[in-house]
Structure 1
């Protein structure tokens, strides 16, 4: 019986030793006096104790579970308190180097708000969320404007930089527009003398006509009188008499040349005259009917040649400087989304609409298949034309405060410097820089606002910390 008891005791000792061995070599928690974790809830009993204030609490098994306040696991084990010296980082440092670095930084000047608020304290304290204020040591408050970040912080913040390059910026302006007739291709058919309309051709609004097409047949006493005088002068000239000005009078009354030629050939004045279309086009208006009396100057028809058409685009005042005569333009009809027309800017109207603060820009287009109709809505994209290469950075690199425009210059080795710049044209996600940068400089294009906030906070805290100079 005694032998059995001794054997059981030996087995228990061996089991306890084995458990301690595997706990030390596999990172498992060493057993405390009651078989649980050590007093600090850490994974290794011989782990050096941390220093500084408690930053957060971590799962006792080193799982990625954290808490701002003390808490316990589901089986009742307390979370491990992580102090300032034990805070994890992406930087690879030998044990003890963190404390050595802290010790070599010099005396603490003050403590700043951990959330970046302009609040400092001469003594350690916590903010409303329980986070410890961060110490600022001597030598960290230089006035050179350079912000220094550790590699771990750069990686966590997602800071990314790109070189400044020289490139041609293709700028485009997208504005609405409307289709309008070419004013130079609109004709009004009217009479220069009182007349009666005997018959109107079967032509209505919207019909297409060709030059010389008969529009109406009219009778005008004034034209008939001038025709009779023209015949008299022709007969007199045949007998050797002087030639008068009747032909010129017929031309002044707008009588078509073919009618004058017929009078000269037949030596007869027609009772009525066929009035024809002066050009190819479509009938925009018909203002005449059979039997009407038309006074001199009244409009019978209004015609328009739509082989060439205008598109008037409304360009905002702030973008007008980027538009040039001859710049390429693409017009897309809202009624035909898949159809595009290519043209060029021909005129920039010298007037700003007071209500909309826009200027009209005229684009001339060939009316392919007659698809462009007056008063259609269109979407217009105006290019900047041929642009010479210039220094440019991505739009995301520029921080615009309203009064300043700056970029964050990457000087390498975790050093960043705010730099004021002057900007030029924009396009394709790029912006030209006329002053402040040189080709090859690297600028931050991602998370730059975080570095700018750090720089502004640093300057503000330096102002708080430095005593006023006494005369």
Structure 2
């Protein structure tokens, strides 16, 4: 009996031992299969159940904490939806710019003042408001002029004398001089011939626009008497505009006439214009310590208006044979600066880089890349977010600093 009890006890000990060894293994597998959650914006927040981020309040999302690979693999549809594009890095020149504040103004060479050629009273003003576009040859105003009537009468008398004494050269000269006076008052040959045929004086004369443009100012009104040469209105042409910018005297030394600069117009940042510096004012503006530079740009379709703010990018430094990337291809965070490298189709991985000179469009890469590398240039922040969602960690976490 005692022997039987001893054998049963010996058989029980291994069973208990193996059961005790088996329990930790089950527990480890259960822990590995347990789902974890993190915040897309704050990957340091990790917990084993759904909830909200205590920092920003966003809903936590599940992630696979056991996937420790540095690369990220996306499907074709994900790449298309994220608009991920790449470029092969190559060396080239890179320039840095200094930004100057400027504005668009009317080009005085495209302005025209419409003035009265005869003294008299404005009978009809065909354009009564500013901002109206007029074409060359379009009637602008009709004026009543007693002086014009007297000149017409004088010409009719000279024509009658010439016809009565056709051989008298003096009367011929008088007739020619009287006709020339009418021509100087913008009387056309057709109007002068009609005067001779009708033998009726017409003190009214209609003046057309001499150029095309937009009415920017009205200086006379109907019923108003204007002197010879008196301004009636001003026309502005906006198909070409001046660009003016203010600079400090110390900056002016880097600018010279004939230099090409970029002009960024507010609202049209994706359409930079090229301008040639035409004038550098050697005198400081009144009441300031600023000088002024000026150039002109074309204005197709009059889409820009005088008064718009612009930025002028003045090149101040340049390098040749450097590796550079578009600014949006580089991501900066608390861990450093990195880019995304395209490997096999659909596979991407982050890489730490060092940057150098930078302008509004591109940034120099001084370390971390070599010519021929394929780099993601659009969709980088979506890759950054996708990495955090899938792995629950910053792409640069654990990478050595450069």
Length-normalised TM-score, structure 1 = 0.43
- Structure index of larger Rg: 1
